[in-house]
Amino acid sequence: MGNWPRDLTFLRVKLLFIGDVVGRPGRRAVQLLIPQLRIQHGLDYVIANGENSAGGAGISPSTAREIFEAGVDVITTGDHLWDQRDVVELLKNEPRFLRPLNYPPDTLGRGWTLHEKKGLPPIGVINAQGRTFMAALENPFTMTLDAVAELRRSTPIIFLDFHAEATSEKIAMGRMLDGKVSAVVGTHTHVQTADEQIFPGGTAFLCDAGFTGPHDSVLGRDFEPVIERFLTYEPRRFPVAKERVLLQGVIIEVDDATGRALEIERVSEPMPPQIA
């Protein structure tokens, strides 16, 4: 499957997926830690969820540019897609930028892509959003199956960022796609789960990759105003926190001929204190 010039000694593709990048601290972590992780783990591809990269709410062309320049190949998003008005520029013009594929058909942008790098087999990347406790978009299960069928014409290596709230919905998606894609990894909750595994059909799975940003916080925001909101229910601003910055995500190794996952390893890499 696929028509890339395959070096017979090259049997594995290693990719890093980075959980939700939050604000400037998250972008800084991506910029400073990706080069180190690329060397340490021999990474071929890097994918990142960037939907909270602009001040902790949404993504803009400038924050996307920082993430791409740091070495990220494809950016995925989720329910905060529309928080920055100039995201329209990315949706119109940037093929490496994805929104959830289960928006209505005439929505700007794309929900999946085939990404290619010289000397490597191409990978398919899909972005979908869940519906349990979230906005009632189109059915992500049926639409993801259609995208997988299209991508498998070109590559067996397919990664899905499933941006969803409910663990049951994420697990169901992973089980449905077992043997059809290389990996299903969840985002959205900002809490890294410890259930990494490879399903019997060869699909790597993790309920949530966590988030990249300040962890002395409530999901990346200063915790004092969040606590005040819970105590009083009065409106509060939730600034992005600053301390204990981690890059969280997952590294997955894939057989390039079959697309089956061979290894999965969670990542929670701290920023050196002097530059965090």
pLDDT in tens, 216-267: 998 989 889 889 899 999 888 888 889 999 999 999 999 999 999 999 999 9
Average pLDDT over the chain, rounded to an integer: 93
pTM of the predicted model, to two decimals? 0.93
Sign of CA dihedral 86, 68, 18, 271: negative
Torsion of CA 208, 211, 216, 220, to 10 degrees: -110
Residue 47 domain-assigned (yes or no): yes
Catalytic residues: 80
Domain count, the chain: 1
The shares of helix, strand and coil residues in the chain, as percent rounded to the nearest 5, are: 25, 30, 45
Residue 2 domain-assigned (yes or no): no
Q: What is the pLDDT of residue 148?
A: 98
pLDDT at 3 over 60: no
- Among the ranges given (80-84, 134-138, 164-168, 237-241), the one the predictor scored with the smallest mean pLDDT: 237-241
Closest to 246 in 3D by CA, of 219, 224, 206: 219
Residue 109 domain-assigned (yes or no): yes
Residue 254 domain-assigned (yes or no): yes
Residue 156 domain-assigned (yes or no): yes
- How far apart CA 185 and CA 261 sit, in angstroms, is 13
Question: What is the per-residue burial (b if ≥16 Cβ within 10 Å, else e) of 3-17?
Answer: eeeeeeeeeebbbbb
Residue 5 domain-assigned (yes or no): no
Mean pLDDT of 87-104: 97
Segment 171-180, tens digit of pLDDT: 999 999 999 9
Which CATH number covers residue 240? 3.60.21.10
pLDDT at 5 over 60: no
Residue 275 domain-assigned (yes or no): no
Domain boundaries, position 242: 12-270
Residue pair 152/123 in contact (Cβ under 8 Å)? The answer is no
Residue 1 domain-assigned (yes or no): no
Mean pLDDT of 121-138: 96
Q: What is the pLDDT of residue 198?
A: 98
